[in-house]
Structure 1
Amino acid sequence: MAPAGRCLLRCLAPLFFLLASGLALPDADAASARPQAGVTPVTVQSKRIERFRIGAGDETAGDRLTFLGGLELLSGNRDMGGLSGLVVTGDGGDLLAVADNGLWFQARIVSDPSGRPIAVEEARVAPMRGPDGRPLADTGRGDSEGLTLRRTADGAELLVSTERTPHIYAYPFPPDLGTSGRDIPLPAGIRKLRHNKGMEAIAAANSGPLAGTLVVVGERGATFADDLPGFLIGGPTPGEFTVARQDAYDATDAAFLPDGNLLLLERRFTLRHGLGMRLRLFSADELRPGRRAVGEVLLEAGYTDQIDNMEGLAVHEAVDGATILTVISDDNRSILQRTLLLRFRLD
């Protein structure tokens, strides 16, 4: 495509994004398309992304991040998409995500010796089941957005948040995709979050000063200008806090680093600013009841970078001890958007 054509597409990206969101399948249609019982294999093709900065000659992404590579994930199965919450375990190859129509997505990430992802294999989807054993989407609770792994005295469990009807469900880990979830008690304040701007980011602190705490950050506050609502559930200092809202960004996911500090993934799409992605780092000391957390911007990306509607964030430690971030996008099951999997090393 000629440079003028590429420029036009980039300039129109926010409009395409808004149209794609409007074309996303409603819950009822998604429910009729997904597998109703058991696990369904999905064929996924991968298109490698070599550079994060379009046209750049190096792999730096901000002052403290190095881009390790990425993949565009392609599939003819309409259940492959809409990915939001994300957990990566093992050596960084075991991926588990939730889709926003109440589906599990499980796959294996294949990487080369340098850590660059080269393919996704053994992909499969399955309906997520509520405490009554029924698929969440069949009971109007399929808007699953957040996923985190919580370590407990007895082992570990997966926590999944739903947005429109606020719930957090606990599932066993290692994952059994046919198991029913267990409802987790929530603070009363979470019930007051906006219908479609609610529990978007959840992260369990498994180490550091907040060990034992589940952090929840709402996608947006009561108005466009308000700070983001935050909740500390359990742990040493339960309560509510806020996250400073900056530059029209909304929260989409969160994950704790091994040192106990928190990473927040944020997304923006407006006709004025275009499509954007941001990573903010918060010290554990900022996450206290009554505090307004501001944090430090590690990465901000826009139309000159390989991004889409970035909604899922996971952190794992590589064999050599490096801290690796994996970010995934929600394509709204639209031909106008992409499912991207990006990897960075925190330097």
Structure 2
Amino acid sequence: MIGGWRTLLVAGLATASLSQCGKKPEPAVLPVAPVKVGPEISLVTTPVPLTTANPPPAALAAGAIGRFVYAGGVAVSSPDTARLHGLSDLKIAPNGAIVAVSDDGDLFEARLKLDEAGRLVGLTDGKLSPLKGPDGQPLQGKDKADAEGLALMPNGDRLVSFERDARIWLYPRLADGSFGPPRPAPMPATTFPDNEGMEALTAYPIAGPDAYLVGGEEGETWLCRLSTSCQGLAPQSPPDFTWGLTAFASFEGQAIATLHRALDPIRGWRAQVRFVVDPRAPAAKQVWAASLTLDGAVSRDNFEGLALTRTPAGATRVYLLADDNDMSFERTLLMAFDWTAPPPAPPAPPAPPKVRKPRRR
């Protein structure tokens, strides 16, 4: 979700952004109850190219952005429901099962469809069900249902963060694989601006099996534990004040990935992913291992969800999920990029041996 003045920016810039695409804005479609009984929904996925420019810019002609190779993408919709919108975060299991949460308090589940080369070509086995409260009933109303962050804990439990009515809930995984009613989990002891709450959430097992990271839209970052409370870390600051922090994902030990997005009337939506070596380091010592920026001629939208997996070839795969804000001129996109670390620098040559001068007698 877009907070504060960014909400006004969407309304004020929609026409300007669309004028570049030759489309006219249409009224937002209000969410209604699914037209199909049961959680299963059919999915329609349309391929999304890295760029629609013809010919593609030289920098994108090879199908990559720097060391990030495009591994396919799709636009996702369903004829069975008007609620498949507003997806705000996702996580992906090693077996290709995905789970995402939405601004309207829904849980979306599906399975990745990859081609023989391992590229993303679709989604199957779609399910859409309501997130439930402690009373076992579906969440009602935007203020209570606006889910923004999702974390999968090492023991299988799920954490979900909400903005507007700011809170984090833990959904315990039961023996049969289902999830029980939620209970409150520790959250940062702060007051968030209206609609600019806890957007980013990820398990952080390097700090303990019950540890997780929480990020506010303005870049504030906390390390929390289920057994204790939350402590502030150095902010994961966006590129500048026009950007917001929308997602975390942990990988390779203490490293994490952060997702930032921005909107302006000239360039439209933009996104940037950063690989942060150690989020617990002081701000002056923060190191990025790599960064991916979606801008210019690259296909893009309002990216809010981030997940990481490992490919069979050993690359780190980045999945990005766009929140369409329930707007007909935005799309629910799922895009994939594969990053391979550069080879290590060759060792420095040994220093030449010192030549001893002969002693004078």
Please indicate the TM-score interval, normalised by the length of the shorter structure: 0.7 to 0.9
Q: Give the match's secondary structure for 2:140.
A: helix
**Which residue identity does 1:133 align to in structure 2?**
G
Q: TM-score, normalised by structure 1?
A: 0.80
- Mapping for residues 1-347 of structure 1, pairs under 5 Å: 12-13=16-17, 24=28, 30=31, 32-34=32-34, 39-52=38-51, 54=53, 55=56, 56-62=60-66, 64-76=67-79, 77-91=81-95, 93-138=96-141, 140-151=143-154, 155-173=155-173, 179-189=180-190, 192-207=191-206, 212-220=210-218, 228-234=219-225, 239-241=231-233, 242-247=235-240, 248-271=242-265, 273-284=267-278, 286-288=279-281, 291=283, 295-296=287-288, 298-347=291-340
**Which residue identity does 1:261 align to in structure 2?**
A
Q: Which of the two has higher C-alpha Rg? A: 2
Which 5+ residue runs of structure 2 have no aligned equivalent? 1-12, 341-361
Give distance in 1, aligned partners of 2:50 and 2:127: 28
Report the CA distance between 1:24 and its aligned residue.
Answer: 4.7
Which 5+ residue runs of structure 1 have no aligned equivalent? 1-8, 221-227
Q: Return closer, same or farther for 1:274/1:323 CA change in 2, 3 Å cut-off.
A: same
- Which segments of structure 1 move beyond 4 Å, counting only runs of 4 or more? 14-17, 19-25, 173-178, 209-212, 235-238, 290-295
Report the CA distance between 1:278 and its aligned residue.
Answer: 0.6
Q: Give the match's secondary structure for 2:144.
A: coil
* Contact 2:104–2:142 under 8 Å retained in 1: no
Cα deviation, 1:144-197, whole Å, max 9, x if unaligned, reads 01111111xxx22111110111111112448966742221122312xx111201
Q: TM-score, normalised by structure 2?
A: 0.77
Give distance in 2, aligned partners of 1:237 and 1:10: 41
- Tell me how large the CA RMSD over aligned residues is: 3.3
Q: Return closer, same or farther for 1:277/1:203 CA change in 2, 3 Å cut-off.
A: same
Report the CA distance between 1:328 and its aligned residue.
Answer: 0.7
Give distance in 2, aligned partners of 1:21 and 1:332: 13
Report the CA distance between 1:282 and its aligned residue.
Answer: 1.4
